[in-house]
Amino acid sequence: MKYVFGVDVGGTSVKIGFLNQDGNLLESWSIPTDLRNHGGNILSDVADSIRKFVELKSLNDDDILGFGFGLPGPVVNNVAIKCVNLGWENVAVDEAFIRAYGKNVLVQAGNDATVAAAGEYWQQKIDGDIVFITLGTGVGGGIIAHGKVIDGAHGAGGEIGHIRAEHNEPQLCTCGLYGCLETEVAIRGINARARKLILEKNLKTTLVDDETLSPKRIFNAAKEGDTLALAVVDKVGQYLGQTCATLAATTDPKAFFIGGGIANAGQILIDAIKKHYVNYAFSALRNMQFELATLGNDAGMFGAAYLIIAGLNK
């Protein structure tokens, strides 16, 4: 049996997973992300941590297939173009990690959302390609085609959070565009819609507009039949359903996987998406599979490891 390391680099901590080639996560741990020095210590911290682990476990270099990295920003040919949260710009992850690790190992890096998509794809072992959508503070996506993630020519493959979703009253997005999907179905957008409806006082609700307002509260209220909350959930389903129909007419996946914190809402979210999806979907695509993602916060580690596995299967 051979092994892979999957490294998920976030702005607060770095998650490191030790997996076998069959995709079983054998051990995992995390180290804090050192943001000093423009993030210049991060990869050497990871290398040190893994080196100690390898020594502790008496692993042979030959048994390690490689090291995969998921990074919070666009990645092209293993170069992290820009990771604002890390302070990185144009970091050649393969070269930097090899230097820090001190051995000429195989390194593959990708954007964190596309890498998470790869993780879900690998673990679901679904018989076909998938589109993965993660809903949280932002909206990210990962497209799998021919069994591999699409990083894209400019590192922006699967940047579906910045597809225009609202056409009549488009809000300014943090990215500078207007009406992005992310402005409507990420945490802030969902809260804002609920807040607006609460202020309008046209729909009955138990929800109150205070600092406790959250997608979790809103989805929970919807599950209990709260009229206003149901309206919010329906609108989220409409934006996502329409966008999924667009994505389906592009790469036509076998299934959509919905993840991220907001997807903890569960089946009610899937049902809302499917309800609207069919109204926008091309005939051949109407019978589409929608699933909740299952790996949660571990998707990044799995997917980073899969970058190595998929590369070996080229």
CB of 131 to a second copy, least distance (A): 9
Query: Is residue 171 at the binding interface for a second copy, with CB under 8 A as the rule?
Result: no
Of the candidate spans 59-67, 211-219, 275-283, 290-298, the one that interacts with a second copy by CB under 8 A turns out to be 275-283
Closer CB to a second copy, residue 26 or residue 175?
Answer: 175
Q: Which residue has tokens 């604002």? A: 84
Considering only residues 112, 129, 184, 298, which one is a binding residue for a second copy as defined by CB under 8 A? 129
Query: Is residue 84 at the binding interface for a second copy, with CB under 8 A as the rule?
Result: no
Query: Is residue 150 at the binding interface for a second copy, with CB under 8 A as the rule?
Result: yes
Considering only residues 85, 246, 264, 297, which one is a binding residue for a second copy as defined by CB under 8 A? 246
Query: Is residue 72 at the binding interface for a second copy, with CB under 8 A as the rule?
Result: no
Closer CB to a second copy, residue 115 or residue 222?
Answer: 115
Of the candidate spans 28-36, 137-145, 202-210, 212-220, the one that interacts with a second copy by CB under 8 A turns out to be 137-145
CB of 113 to a second copy, least distance (A): 12
Of the candidate spans 24-32, 37-45, 224-232, 239-247, the one that interacts with a second copy by CB under 8 A turns out to be 239-247
**Binding-site ranges for a second copy (CB under 8 A):** 74, 81, 128-129, 141, 143, 145-146, 148, 150-160, 162-164, 167-168, 175-177, 242, 245-254, 280-285, 287-288
